[in-house]
Amino acid sequence: MKDNRLAGKVAVVTGASSGIGQGIAVAMGRAGASVVINYHSDEDGARTTQQQIEQGGSQAIIMQADVGKQEEAQQLIDAAIKHFGRLDILVNNAGVQQDKDFLEMTLEDWEKVMSTNLTGHFLCAQAAAREFVKRQVQPQERTSAGNIIFISSVHDIIPWAGRANYTAAKGGLQMLMKTLAQELAKYKIRVNAISPGAIKTDINRQEWETEEGKQKMLSQIPYGRIGEPEDIAKVAVWLATDEADYITGTTLYVDGGMTLYPSFG
Ligand code: NAD
């Protein structure tokens, strides 16, 4: 159902051709935002996202970019200004896993994950923040000059064997988010993170597709169900609205209780 909570706003969502990014892009469109849909390699997925947004009555364009490349990250932010005349929200969602036992992990495995999951978030955040600072929003106003939302993971605090590259990137993201929130607050730029638990997407398909894998996942979720992209999307929309205007530098764990040390239950 369409609402107007983000009417007049423009959002860039990275990695929006599938999973959580697609869910967020569609939900932001339904809330009235115009959306720049970034994709890396799945153009069909991006078109599906675009169709869903347009069917809901909002505008969307698609932009291919590798967020880990500076020029392409900049082009993504420029596209919002060029096509919609402004930028209000950046959702840094793009992410990959390249799991490997630590003793076998190559520099290539490490750099691939760092490039997308950490450097890419830095590059897009910097390009967006340089745009946001042009706005002159006064401290007493109950609105921000711009919003940056990082899609992190419960693995920014839960170690995860066999994924040293992924956990290091997500842990790094947590401090990147907090530091930017502190540094950019004077410009009235809000910076927050959402850390999902287990959400049913392509990234963990191998786990939830088998009964054994699904039961293992459920054993780590006190709330008793695996999350859906919409669970994250609803929170991202709310975090981007002025209802959340006093929230900056925070990580919202949207995880059905995964971070509650369920084995102690
Ligand atoms: P997904 O594989 O469906 O989505 C990841 C997206 O990132 C894909 O669309 C992919 O094309 C895109 N991408 C990869 N490299 C890119 C690059 N260099 N430039 C631009 N886009 C790129 O999986 P998802 O679960 O939707 O993941 C989205 C985010 O959520 C990731 O950051 C992931 O780490 C995080 N996350 C997911 C879960 C989960 O359980 N699914 C849990 C915690 C965190």
Q: Say if 230 falls within a structural domain.
A: yes
**Which residue has its alpha carbon closest to ligand 1 atom 41?**
199
Per-residue confidence (pLDDT) for residue 1, from 0 to 100: 67
The CA 57 to ligand 1 mean position distance, Å, reads 26
User: Average of pLDDT values for 53-64?
Assistant: 98
- Read off the pLDDT of residues 190-239 as tens digits, 9 standing for 90 and up: 999 999 999 999 999 999 999 999 999 999 999 999 999 999 999 999 99
Q: Is pLDDT of 253 > 70?
A: yes
Report the atom number in ligand 1 closest to the C-alpha of 166: 34
Query: Which residue has its alpha carbon closest to ligand 1 atom 8?
Result: 15
Residues whose CB falls within 8 Å of the CB of residue 118, separated by 6 or more in sequence, listed in order: 169, 172, 173, 176
Instruction: State the Cα–Cα distance between residues 35 and 61, nearest whole angstrom.
Output: 7
Count of structural domains, the chain: 1
Q: Report the pLDDT averaged over residues 15-25.
A: 98
Do the domain assignments include residue 5? Answer: no
Dist. CA 191 → ligand 1 center (Å):
19
Residue 17 near residue 43 (C-beta atoms within 8 A): yes
Spatial separation of the C-alpha atoms in residues 150 and 158, rounded to whole Å: 17
Residues with a CB atom less than 6 Å from ligand 1: 14-15, 17-21, 38, 40-42, 66-68, 93-96, 116, 120, 151, 153, 196, 198-199, 201-204
Ligand 1 centroid distance, CA of 143 (Å): 29
260 part of a folded domain? no
Name the residue with the closest Cα to ligand 1, atom 33: 95
* CA 6 – CA 3 distance, rounded (Å): 8
Let me know if residue 181 belongs to a domain.
Answer: yes
Residue 170 maps to a domain: yes
Known catalytic residue: 166?
yes
| 192 neighbors 248 (Cβ within 8 angstroms) | yes
Domain containing 39: what range? 10-254
Task: Please report whether residue 261 resides in a domain.
Answer: no
Average pLDDT score, the chain? 97
pTM: 0.98
- From 13, 18, 47, the mutation candidate for ligand 1 (largest count of ligand atoms within 8 A of CB) is 18
| Best probe residue, ligand 1, of 203, 218, 252 (max atoms within 8 Å of C-beta) | 203
Is 180 a domain residue? yes
**What is the pLDDT, as a whole number, of residue 3?**
87
Number of H helices, E strands in the chain: 9, 7
Residue-level pLDDT at 2: 73
Q: How far apart are CA 54 and CA 95, in angstroms?
A: 25
Instruction: Let me know if residue 74 belongs to a domain.
Output: yes
Distance of CA 35 from the midpoint of ligand 1 (Å): 18
Query: What is the C-alpha to C-alpha distance for residues 151 and 20, in angstroms, rounded to an integer?
Result: 9
Flag whether pLDDT at 184 surpasses 90: yes
CATH (domain of 66): 3.40.50.720
Cα–Cα dist 27/63, whole Å: 18
Ligand 1 atom closest to the CA of 66, numbered from 1: 19
Return d(Cα 45, Cα 39) in angstroms, integer: 8
3-state SS class at 138: coil
Catalytic hit among 166, 223, 246, 253:
166
Cα 131 to Cα 77, 135, 213: the distances in Å are: 8, 8, 44
